[in-house]
Amino acid sequence: MVRKASYGFKACLNCKMLVDKREKVCPNCGNKDFSDEWSGMVIIFNVKESNLATVLNIKKEGMYAIKVR
Ligand SMILES: [Zn+2]
């Protein structure tokens, strides 16, 4: 079941990490502002060996949205 592009996650407005909608604080950066309006998803397993992580300026393993509105 897929509704829009949210998948039960929301995106942190600061670092774009995708977190469970029940979370109140971003586990990555501590930000409390989230958006349901995101699209595209990348999963980073190893920050040090991922070119994508470098390009997207991601410092920690996790799921991230490509675009957040
Ligand atoms: Zn964050």
Q: How far is the CA of 46 from the centre of ligand 1 (A)?
A: 18
Give me the CATH number covering residue 22: 2.20.28.90
- In a domain? residue 4: no
Identify the pLDDT of residue 1: 46
Percent of the chain at pLDDT exceeding 70: 90
- In a domain? residue 48: yes
- In a domain? residue 28: yes
DSSP string, 1-69: ---TTTTTEEEETTT-BEEETT-SS-TTT----EES-EEEEEEES-GGG-HHHHHTT--SSEEEEEEE-
Residue pLDDT, tens place only, 24-36: 999 999 999 999 9
Q: How far is the CA of 36 from the centre of ligand 1 (A)?
A: 14
Across 46-65, average pLDDT: 92
Q: How far is the CA of 40 from the centre of ligand 1 (A)?
A: 16
- In a domain? residue 51: yes
Is the pLDDT at 8 greater than 70? The verdict is yes
- In a domain? residue 1: no
Question: Which position has the higher pLDDT, 1 or 57?
Answer: 57
Q: How far is the CA of 1 from the centre of ligand 1 (A)?
A: 26
Q: How far is the CA of 45 from the centre of ligand 1 (A)?
A: 17
